[in-house]
Amino acid sequence: MIGILDYGMGNLRSVQKAIAYLGGSAAVTADEDTLDGCEKLILPGVGSFGAGIKELNDKGLAAYVKRRAAGGTPLLGICLGMQFLLEESEEEGLFSGLGLVKGRVVPFTEGKIPHMGWNAVTDMRGQLFKGIPSGTQFYFVHSYYADTTQAFTLGKTEYYRTFASAVGKDNVFGVQFHPEKSGAAGLQLLRNFLAL
């Protein structure tokens, strides 16, 4: 069972449908007892960092996610959910993140914002990208990006600058793009996560 964390923001049902399409089962919930029965967790997200992290904290899910991640539970953050994994964000002020991956969330200052549409991910590494060739296109919608070090970068994308479009540390993974909207490649990435 996969736990999709429901804190009131995010593409919850589309992620759940993608997991079901792959033959998995997923519970969309904020109930910790239900989440305790899930062997992996997905943290989706759409919207602003400040509003989202407030909801996570108010529902007790921020502390819950950190505790499960520290215990070795595989965790996948998607889009805003990936940004939550970092230490802090500059979106609409300065907000603390979950601090599971070193780095900060900073705004694009060039090009059309948001960065929206299909773009290539290169320099992929790790189990999340098994069977996915470098340069594969994924679907993005975001105005902020992860500023982190090479050590925590699992994939890179070019949009007026090179940024980390996938991050991770140990059992914690995050992707800036939407795998649930990225066709066969996105499904393969989710399949890889299920297989961890």
Active site residue 180: yes
Question: Considering 38, 55, 142, 180, which one is annotated as catalytic?
Answer: 180
Q: Cα(101)–Cα(96) distance, rounded to whole angstroms?
A: 12
Question: Considering 38, 55, 79, 91, which one is annotated as catalytic?
Answer: 79
Which pairing describes strands 75-78 and 115-121: parallel, antiparallel, or unpaired? Answer: unpaired
Q: Cα(14)–Cα(156) distance, rounded to whole angstroms?
A: 24
CB 180 within 8 A of CB 19: no
% helix, strand, coil for the chain, step of 5: 30, 30, 35
Active site residue 178: yes
Per-residue burial over 147-181, b = 16 or more CB atoms within 10 Å of its CB, e = otherwise:
ebeeebbbbbbebeeebbbbbbbebbbbbbbbbbb
CB 154 within 8 A of CB 129: yes
Active site residue 38: no
Count CA atoms closer than 13 A to 135's CA, side-chain side. 0
Catalytic residue IDs: 79, 178, 180
